Amino acid sequence: MQQFSNQEVAELKSRIDEIHELLAGRGSELSATPTYRNGAGDASPQSVLLNQLSLSIQMRRIRRNHFASAELAGPIWDMMLDLMLAESHGRALSASDLATGAGVPLSSGLRMITTLERLGLAQRSIDERDRRRTIVRLTDSGSERMASYFEKIGVAWQNNRTLAA
């Protein structure tokens, strides 16, 4: 793993602080992050890292603002992604599929699914072909919110790409 000098760490911290200020000042609006280039106009490894950090921070904040919930992180977010992917392929996932995909025990997965239901993002139903299985799907609201979230992420990613070019 590459080691950074104290100066590089200080520059990273300073840039992250700038990003925090930009995001705080713009609320839920997206902010663009400039790419730092060396004298020859090439993106340096540090600038690539800064852009990746910036995009990662933007994505996390966009998700928190978009869904208005700090609960959508970690395994619960993994479940949302799995549900969205399954829906886009016309598939259904069981509660045990979601727990396995999120890397949590079934009991924890069921509590997380309850959280998604409470937030109005997912719903459970009994599998008509195998009544022992519980199927979990995104609600219409959950699908719409995920789609609009990814639209916002697409804008942020495009802004980062445009600035890096």
The region of weakest confidence among 25-34, 66-75, 110-119, 156-165 is 25-34
Q: Which residues contact 78 (CB under 8 A, 6 or more apart)?
A: 101, 102, 103
The reply to whether the predicted model has a pTM over 0.85 is no
Which band of pLDDT confidence, cut at 50, 70 and 90, is reported for residue 32?
very low
Residue ranges of domains in the chain, CATH in brackets = 6-25+37-69+149-164 (no CATH), 74-147 (1.10.10.10)
DSSP string, 28-53: TS----PPPB-TTSPBPHHHHHHHHH
Give the pair of three-digit tokens for residue 118: 């409470």
Please count the other Cβ atoms lying within 10 Å of the Cβ belonging to residue 148: 11
The yes-or-no verdict on residue 140 having pLDDT over 60 is yes
pLDDT of amino acid 56: 86
17 falls in which pLDDT band (50, 70, 90)?
A: low
